[in-house]
Amino acid sequence: MSTELLEARDGPVVTLTLNRPEAMNALSPSLLGSLCEAFRRLQGDNSVRAVVLTGNGRAFCAGLDLKIMSQAGEGGGLDAFAIHSGNDVQAAIESFDRPLIIGVNGVAATGGFELALMGDILIAADSARFADTHCRVGLAPGWGLSQKLARIIGPSRAREAHFSGNFISAEQASQWGLVSRAVPDDALLVTCQQLAADIAESVPATVRLYKRLVNQGLEMDLGAGMAMERTVMGEANRDVSGDSVGARRSAVQQRGRDQAS
């Protein structure tokens, strides 16, 4: 793996860290390739139950590397990134069927904003800031920002962000429901990793199923989503025994008592 992407593992939890701090973790072709390779490989490893993705330094990700984009000829320009072919990070992440937690440690701008929205759960450091600068720099989005953001925070707020390019603070992002919550900077990584560890304790097959239900349901109207859930429930719960559910429920109840104390 390239030094532009660091990987660490703690049992069933993998932490990936964008590691181009001198460039605000801007996405180079090689970093995109490393991200795609990592998620394709992790998808094939059934011992992995959750992944955390964050950035090193003062930014989560500043988007595509504009220096490379501005280069003429071979090795430069937008085509060098192969974002819709070999380096299609959106496709690689969408194919990963376990939870992806995004720890936004600073600026997440334009393509970096889109990368953050590829996660299942977003947690922001207090210093995090989000910005969609596509309209400011004259680029059209290509990783779903124009479609996802309005569905998350509402059309009016999304249009404000898209058209103005203004930054959204961590506090505002939390109020708008863009992130699950904001935490102190020095608590971001441990918060993400603890949440990943909590998820890893759940029944793996059910977590994967739940992720699929939520993601596919978001693409349907409510009636179609309810019908899909009923169909999936009948298939998934057919072989589940009362004894196994009872045993797990006891553990859940004990965990609830521990958390309340």
pLDDT at 96: 98
Query: pTM score, two decimals?
Result: 0.89
Q: Which two tokens stand for residue 137?
A: 């720099």
Q: Would you give the DSSP letter of residue 140? A: -
In this predicted structure, what is the pLDDT of residue 225? 93
As a whole number of angstroms, the distance between CA 221 and CA 174 comes to: 26
Confidence (pLDDT) at 77: 63
Please give the domain boundaries of the chain with CATH numbers for all domains. 5-200 (3.90.226.10), 220-260 (no CATH)
Q: What is the pLDDT along the chain (261 residues), one digit of tens a residue?
A: 579 999 999 999 999 999 999 999 999 889 999 999 999 999 999 999 999 999 999 999 998 887 877 665 555 566 656 677 678 899 999 999 999 999 999 999 999 999 999 999 999 999 999 999 999 988 888 899 999 999 999 999 999 999 999 999 999 999 999 999 999 999 999 999 999 999 999 999 999 999 999 999 999 999 999 999 989 887 777 776 555 555 456 565 556 656 666
Instruction: Note whether 103 and 109 are within 8 A (CB).
Output: no
The pLDDT, as a whole number, for residue 87 is: 84
- Distance CA(65)–CA(228), nearest Å, equals 41
* Residue 98 per-residue DSSP state: S
Label the pairing between strands 168-169 and 129-131: antiparallel
What pLDDT does 73 receive? 53
Return the pLDDT at 209: 94
